[in-house]
Amino acid sequence: MAFGSGHRSAYDDAVGSLQFDTKMSDAEALMWRLEKDPHLSSTFANIMLLDQMPDMARLRRRLDTATRTIARLRQRVRPAPGGFSPPTWVEDHEFDIDYHLRHISLPKPSSVRHLLDLAAQIVADPFDRNRPLWQFTVVQGVGGRAAIIEKLHHTIADGERGVELSLSFLDFERDANELPDPAMTPDADRPGEPSAPGLVRDALIGGLRFPLGILRQVSALVTDPAQVPATTAALGKTARGIMAQLAETESARSPLWTQRSIHRRLEVTRAPFHETKRAAKALGGTLNTAFLTAAAEAASRYHEAMDTPVEYLRASMAISTRTEESGANAFSLVRMLVPTSPMPIAERFCAIQEISEAARLRSESASLETVATLAGGLPTSVITRLARQQAETVDFATSNVRGSPVPVYVAGAKLLENYPVGPLAGVAFNLTLLSYMGSLDTCANIDTAAVADPKLLARSLKQSFAALIAT
């Protein structure tokens, strides 16, 4: 997650390995277009609670250095003519580091609750689409401590790649040596703005795109017609997988979480990493299953406390599909019905283990990128309507990312707790987890029109992790 800044060569190897395309992928372009509907924003964030104020001058130098090393941090989005192909990334010639690094103080007395309320407002505030899509807000006076709210647009990176980007500003030591300023990449070596003929060509080609997997299967037919039966079956499987996703129009299951709005509240909790992992292993599953089980158990407890028990809720789960060749975003979303009626938590765990494995297998036939490619030719108004329709089938979302097992520092300040804020995208709440230093730091991004008592949900989540560990 971080690298001591006294080791220049290792830093170069780590950060220099991050690859970013000059054009958005179809999935990234889809997320970009969906933000025409504010309910479908794909912005995410990290709330980093620190033991003291970071050295602002030092942090500014580190971030400025990062923008000179990682080109994406100095790039803005340039839409394609007519929207027929994905947008491209071009250099922001008016880039200003001080626009992206901000410093504010909470009024006294203040607490983590005030910090969370501030973070909810910052995350909900749309990015300026004429500038690079990231922002750091340093917050002073958080109950005698400090914090950083790191805000990033999903088109720049997913959660896993976002953790890798943190290499550019985190250290293993409080007083680590500073990195020497790298020379700016010569203009001749930096990607230039696309030419007018190139934009027109891309627009024309973009309107004729098919999913890469399907093109490869068709190509295989040309070279080896004997593959027709197998390829036809594969194409049919892909089509069925896509249609199964788009045809899912049944409403979300909760009788309580029926409304949606743009009002947000954040609730955080911590659970011990090693104890939770041991409990998952003892039950014959993984930490991912334990996390999803805790979320389902919390939802069950919430509905029970409201005297409105529900047998099943529909959950979505982000699954990493990252390989060495992956770009900035490499994930897929799976949906599943999880049991939420009253039952022993061990029984719930075993059921969810089986359900989630089956959902993973189903998702392989219809990746997010494939669906996004097919959606690329549709008008934005149609896309947003379909996306809202799909979001309304889901009660809550989950995602988890692996972080650092050892302490890290930001410009001289020790990172104490690290809470990830996932995009809500039309569901009642998104529960995101980031492991850090032997802890599972979780943040629930909650639509308060859906979840009337966010504090009850937070208490239910704490109780759920405790019950799982006790089992």
The band of 15, judged by pLDDT with boundaries at 50, 70 and 90, is low
Q: Residue 307: pLDDT above 90? A: yes
Residue 2 one-letter amino acid: A
* pLDDT tens-digit readout, 138-176: 999 998 899 999 999 989 988 777 777 887 899 999 998
The whole-number average pLDDT for the span 388-401 is: 90
Higher pLDDT, 362 or 349: 349
Among the residue ranges 179-188, 338-347, 394-403, the one predicted with the least confidence is: 179-188
The pTM score is 0.82
Q: Residue 351: pLDDT above 60? A: yes
Alpha-carbon span 48 to 266, nearest angstrom? 14
* pLDDT tens-digit readout, 87-97: 999 999 999 99
Alpha-carbon span 67 to 65, nearest angstrom? 5
* pLDDT tens-digit readout, 167-200: 789 999 999 888 776 555 544 445 555 554 444 4
The band of 319, judged by pLDDT with boundaries at 50, 70 and 90, is confident
Percent of the chain with pLDDT over 70: 75
Q: Residue 31: pLDDT above 90? A: no
Domain ranges of the chain: 249-400+433-470
Are the C-beta atoms of residues 380 and 36 closer than 8 Å to each other?
yes
Give the per-residue pLDDT at 392. Answer: 86
Cβ partners under 8 Å of residue 402, min gap 6:
160, 163, 434, 435
Give the per-residue pLDDT at 322. Answer: 67
Alpha-carbon span 449 to 432, nearest angstrom? 20
Report the b/e string of 390-408 with b at 16+ CB within 10 A. Answer: bbbbbbbbbbbbebbeebb
Highest mean pLDDT among 72-86, 200-214, 239-253, 413-427: 413-427
Sheet containing strand 413-421, strands side by side:
101-105, 134-142, 145-153, 43-50, 413-421, 409-410
The separation between the first and the last C-alpha atoms of the chain, rounded to the nearest angstrom, is 31
Pick the CATH number of 249-400+433-470 from 3.30.559.30, 2.40.110.10, 3.90.1150.10, 3.40.50.1360: 3.30.559.30
